[in-house]
Amino acid sequence: MLIQKTHRYVNIAAAISIVVLLAGISTLALGIQRTAASWRWVTHTREVLQHVQGTQSLINEADALQKSLRLEYSRRDDADFQERLTALPREIQILTQLTSDNPTQQRTLADLRRLLDDYVRNLRIGMERAMAYPSREDERALRQTIALRIAALQAEEERLLVLRDAAAGADRARTVTAAGVVSVLSVALLFFVRAMARRDADFLAAEQANLDATLRSIGEAVIAVDVFGRVRFMNRVAEQLLGCEEAQARDQLLTTVFRIAGSGSDDDALAAALRAALREKQPVTGIPFAGSSPAQPERMRSWLLNCQPLLVDGEVRGAVMSMLDVTELKRTQRELGDANLLLEQRIQDRTEQLAEANMELRAFAHTIAHDLRAPLRNLQGYAAALLEDEAATLSATGERFMRRILAVSEHMDRLVTDLLAYSQLSRAELRLQPVELDHVVQLALDDMETQVAANGARIDAASPLPTVLGNEAVLVQVFVNLIGNAIKFVAPGVTPHVRIDGHVTADAAWVHIADNGIGIPEDKRERVFDVFERLHGEDQYQGTGIGLAIVKKGVERLGGTIRVEPAPTGTVFRLCLQRPRPQPLPATAPADAPPVA
């Protein structure tokens, strides 16, 4: 992890340094170019100044030669005089080309060219007539104007020379600074990389020492070989297993060093494992070995051999072999197998006992359904007969007691019936198939027709309700109990009103059954589904406390869920049922296929 972090830091530092170096080199190259350009402009300006001074010199020499010729004619002076007059336009042309990028100098040169044309023409006229200029004041004014123009040219170029010298100095300073920064960064990067390399080397040396110590202290025999199969490392367990020390086995072929008493044909498996690891680059694991070690030749032991190739950049550099002593593990496996056989036998015995207990439970339930309900029905019959036939002879207290006996016997009969229904629902084998809830609700209402009419209940069922995957009889029982509870648990003087609706989602069908009854407190919404759980006394609302338990058990047997949802008034039960699985479409025969007989 440290090496990876170091490499990451080195890569980041190197990337930053390279970016800075590139920026510095770019700045240096740009500075060199700017410095060269600045010095070209300085040279250019000096050249312009040289030509300006040359123009002034030509004017002065032409004037002096004209005066000399007027005093005494000389062919040589005349040739020099003509040469100066001819050179003046060339100088002006050169200056015009050199200052083509300076509009101010161009305007000054245009005036100077006009003035020099007048000046040269006057000099030539003076030579032809051998007389001075027509007017000495005009001559002096022309000479002063020319001098002013030349001075303006010179002043402008000297101003540009100062600016360009300063720019060249600044560019030279930036270039020197960039060169210094590049040099410092290069040296800093070199020292940083050297420090990181030394740190990595120290870390690798420490890691190698730790790895060596770890491999030597591991509980498995570990042997490392090079690409030729020669031993390069053996830990203490391997030395004990092979009966030789690492110093003796080093640089020898593993097949030569590997000697386990009674190994038999295991040498072939060892050679095959080495070949797969070194030549085919394939790991080999779980090769069983059996034999005895030189330390304990009288004790047979079992090992598992694993051989992993050492790959560096896809190239095989050797292999590592590990041998795990599995003698105790195999003994434990044998003991565990014997224990599993014993456990399976016990489970089979317990299963048979449970089957017998279930048969006895079914017989007991049958007894409850018939033998226990028979005396209850007799008790109800006798109580009803006494009330009908002997009511005149019974006292008020006796009649009240007889009616109480009749009510208690009827409650006991309902309780036994509900318990039997709950028990049968828990054990019955249910066949699930698509069921239309519209039909289920109608069957439930048909069964409850008398109860609905007696209470004046209003039942609103949305249509169509979803089609679900379930059992029709169980679903009818669920809706009978839910609608019956909704009709029963209402406040005195309130007409029961039950609303049933539903919808489907991608993987389920949802049904809501809402009423305008007395409701269920929030802290008891889970408890109402427990067996014998009643929220009100028998004197307020009759019941056995098993109805909602039957509902929950039936819904769960159908693979669904039921819960009580919060509602401002009354109670809302929310059922989640399975949707029928889509049936695959039958394959259609081709149009030209022959009809099936």
CA distance linking residue 46 with residue 54, whole number of Å: 12
Question: Residue 264 pLDDT > 50, yes or no?
Answer: no
The pLDDT of residue 499 is 92
- The percentage of residues in the chain with a pLDDT greater than 70, rounded to a whole number, is 76
pLDDT digits 0-9 by tens, 157-187: 888 888 888 888 887 887 888 788 778 877 8
Q: Which residue has the higher pLDDT, 545 or 490?
A: 490
pLDDT digits 0-9 by tens, 41-100: 888 888 888 888 888 888 888 888 877 877 778 888 888 888 888 888 888 889 888 888
pLDDT digits 0-9 by tens, 7-21: 666 677 667 767 777
The pLDDT of residue 100 is 85
The HSE-up count of residue 172 (CA atoms within 13 Å, CB side) is 9
The pLDDT of residue 597 is 31
The pLDDT of residue 511 is 92
The structure's pTM equals 0.38
The pLDDT of residue 410 is 62
Question: Residue 544 pLDDT > 60, yes or no?
Answer: no
Question: Residue 380 pLDDT > 80, yes or no?
Answer: no
The pLDDT of residue 592 is 45
The pLDDT of residue 260 is 43
The answer to whether 164 and 38 are in contact (CB under 8 A) is: yes
Question: Residue 501 pLDDT > 90, yes or no?
Answer: yes
Residues 6+ apart with CB under 8 A from 296: none
CA distance linking residue 13 with residue 199, whole number of Å: 15
The pLDDT of residue 584 is 57
pLDDT digits 0-9 by tens, 177-217: 878 877 887 788 778 777 877 877 777 777 767 766 766 66
Question: Residue 500 pLDDT > 90, yes or no?
Answer: yes
pLDDT digits 0-9 by tens, 397-430: 877 777 778 766 665 666 566 556 655 555 556 6
The pLDDT of residue 265 is 40
Cα–Cα nearest to 470, from 540, 348, 554: 554
pLDDT digits 0-9 by tens, 298-349: 666 777 778 888 787 778 878 887 777 777 777 888 888 888 888 888 888 8
The pLDDT of residue 577 is 92
CA 503 to chain centre: 36
The pLDDT of residue 591 is 46
**CB neighbours of residue 531 within 10 Å:** 15
Confidence of residue 128 (pLDDT cuts 50, 70, 90): low
Cα–Cα nearest to 525, from 562, 550, 496: 562
The pLDDT of residue 261 is 34
- The first and second tokens of residue 5, run together, are 């972090």
Question: Residue 262 pLDDT > 70, yes or no?
Answer: no
Q: Which residue has the higher pLDDT, 28 or 83?
A: 83
Q: Please, which contacts does 128-132 make with residues 24 or more away whose CB atoms are closer than 8 Å? A: 130/70
